[in-house]
Amino acid sequence: MRDYIEDFLNYLRIQRNYSNNTEINYLIDIEDFDAYLNKNKIKFTNLNYREISMYTKYLKEEKKLESSSISRHLSSLRSFYNYLLNQNVINSNPFKMVTGPKKALKLPNYMKYSEFETMIDTCGDDDLGVRNRAILELLFATGARIGELINVRISDIDFITREIKVLGKGNKERICYFNEHAKDSLQNYINSSRWNLLKNKTSEYLFINHIGTKLTDRGVRTIIDNLIKKSSLNAKITPHTFRHTFATMLLNEGCDLKSVQELLGHVNLSTTSIYTHITNDRIKDIYLHTHPRSKK
C-alpha cells in the first residue's frame, strides 16, 4: 500500500494542484488507516462495508475523534480508493456508499467591532506595530485566509482600484477588495516599516518578519495571540475569526449570500450558508426587541 500512497500524493500535487497542507492531511489520514489495516491483518484491496464500519467506530471510540474529523478521514480514503480504482488496482470503491457521521452544527466564532478596534490600538507605532496594524486591517477588510495573506506579493496589490489578487485553495485565483483604512495602513507599512524590516534584503512578499524574511502562518498566529494578551481581551480570536467576522458583518449589512461566497472564495454556497444561522439569530433578536407584541 505504501507505493500507492506515494503515487497518490504525487497525483494530488501534480495533476490536482493541491496545497502542501492538503497533501499532509491526506497522508495522515491514509497512513492511520494503513496502520489500522496492518494491525488487524486486513488486506487493503479486499475491504467490505463491515470492516469500514468497524474503522469508523475505532476512530470515534478509541481515537476520540469528532464527527468532522471522522468525515475528513472517510473523504480522504474515498479519494484514495477512487485513485486505486482508476489505476485498476481494485474493482470497486468500498467507500463510495459510506457516509460520515452527522456533523454537529458548529457556528463560526466572530468578533465585535470594538474588539477589533482594541487590537488596532494595541499595535504600537514601531516597525513591527505598523506591520501588525496592516495585517489586522487587511484580514478585516478582505476576509482572506491566513495562507492567502502570507503569500500576497507587492505586485498583487493595486492601490488605485483597491484590489488584491490572492491564490486560494486549489490554486484558484480571486480578487479581494480593501477599504481606505486598509489602504492607509498598507501604504504606511510599505513605504517605511517594510524597508526597515527587510534589513537590506529583498523579497517579493508583502509581509516580512523581524529577521527580514517572509512572514509565516505561525508568525501571524503568534502576532494575533500576543495582541490579544496585550490588550487583555477576553475573547477567542484567531486569524480565521477575521474571516468569519468579515462574512457575518457583510450579511448583517444586507449583502447577498452569493456575493459573500465569491468574496470568500468558497466553491459551494452551502459552505457560506453557515453564516446565515448567525444573521438569522440577530434578526430574531431584533424582532423580539422591537415588535410591540413581543415585549412584556
Phi/psi of residue 265, each to 5°? 80, 25
Select which of 73, 131, 145, 244 is catalytic: 145
- Asked if 266 is an active-site residue, the reply is yes
| Catalytic residue check, 181 | no
Q: Which of 18, 26, 83, 275 is flagged as catalytic? A: 275
In the set 73, 131, 194, 243, the catalytic residue is 243
Strands 163-167 and 157-158: antiparallel
Three-class secondary structure of residue 176 per DSSP:
strand
Neighbouring C-beta atoms of residue 192, cutoff 10 Å: 12
167 phi and psi angles, rounded to 5 deg = -110, 110
How far apart are the C-alpha atoms of 130 and 189, rounded to whole Å?
6
240 is catalytic: yes
Choosing from 60, 165, 169, 174, the catalytic residue is 169
Distance CA 50, CA 67 (A): 19
By C-alpha distance, which of 217, 245, 222, 19 is closest to 117?
245
- Check if 243 is active-site: yes
Q: Give the distance, in angstroms, between the CA of residue 133 and the centroid of all CA atoms in the same chain.
A: 21
Cell numbers for 196, please give them: 526597515
Which bin fits 232, alpha (ψ -120 to 50), beta or left (φ > 0)? left
**Active-site residue (options: 13, 162, 214, 240):** 240
Catalytic choice (72, 78, 221, 266): 266
- 2 assigned to active site: no
Residues carrying an active site annotation: 145, 169, 240, 243, 266, 275
